[in-house]
């Protein structure tokens, strides 16, 4: 069972939550996949989403790449959710640590995901800790960029349809890193 560890009211109508649990069990409109540019969902978060959601997700992902080419950081792809309880999976391509401009690319992936969720008229989104697994992005650095990007998105998007953003973390090391950055950014004090 997923458990909310921290919550913050970003705007009068938008809430951010830090959650310990399994992303694939989230009951939200959109689950965010930490994807690679070719949407091959073999391991990590992508593998878990694909296994739980079924082959439809990989089939739609392959069709997306054939139609649009590799997915850029700032313009995530989306597919149906297969057997998952959400409506869509947004495939956000985070940076591989060491490839250059990692901070900028992670910001673009998170911001682009929120923009796409708005374009799809969805109200709730659950993110993993993008790029912190096999892509090697340092957890605390990723936490700072993700949390600041989410906060800045809502500061500039008064008309956002998104009402709930959850960052769902399954392992305690990542949760500890995100929780520490949350506290440093004083997110609990936002109104």
Show pLDDT as tens, one digit a residue, over the chain (191 residues).
899 999 999 999 999 999 999 999 999 999 999 999 999 998 889 999 999 999 999 999 999 999 999 999 999 999 999 999 999 999 999 999 999 999 999 999 999 999 999 999 999 999 999 999 999 999 999 999 999 999 999 999 989 999 999 999 999 999 999 999 999 999 875 43
The pLDDT assigned to 77 comes to: 98
Q: Which helix (H) or strand (E) holds 66?
A: helix 55-68
pLDDT value, residue 30: 98
Please provide residue 10's backbone torsions phi and psi, each rounded to the nearest 5 degrees. Answer: -75, -40
**What local confidence, expressed as pLDDT, does residue 189 receive?**
53
**Helices (runs of H) and strands (runs of E) counted in the chain:** 5, 7
Element (H, E) at 104: helix 102-119
Q: Are 88 and 79 in contact (CB under 8 A)?
A: yes
Residue 182 near residue 18, CB atoms below 8 Å: yes
In the chain, the domains with their CATH numbers are 3-185 (3.40.220.10)
- pLDDT of 13 reads 93
> Which residues are CB-neighbours of 64 under 8 A, at least 6 positions away?
39, 71, 77, 78, 79, 91
């Amino acid at each position: 069972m997923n458990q909310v560890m921290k919550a913050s009211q970003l705007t009068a109508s938008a809430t951010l939550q830090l959650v310990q649990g399994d992303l694939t069990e989230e009951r939200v409109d959109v689950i965010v996949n930490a994807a690679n540019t070719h949407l091959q969902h073999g391991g990590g978060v992508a593998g878990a989403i694909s296994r739980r959601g079924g082959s439809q997700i990989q089939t739609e992902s392959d069709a997306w790449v054939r139609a649009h080419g590799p997915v850029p950081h700032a313009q995530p792809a989306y597919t149906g959710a297969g057997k998952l309880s959400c409506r869509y999976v947004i495939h956000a391509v985070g940076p591989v640590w060491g490839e250059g401009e990692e901070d900028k690319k992670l910001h673009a992936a998170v911001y682009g995901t929120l923009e796409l969720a708005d374009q799809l008229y969805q109200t709730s989104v659950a993110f993993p800790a993008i790029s912190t697994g096999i892509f090697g992005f340092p957890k605390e650095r990723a936490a700072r960029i993700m949390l600041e990007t989410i906060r800045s998105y809502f500061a500039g998007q008064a008309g956002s349809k998104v009402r709930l953003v959850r960052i769902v973390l399954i392992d305690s090391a990542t949760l500890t890193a995100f929780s520490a950055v949350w506290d440093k950014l004083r997110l609990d004090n936002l109104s």
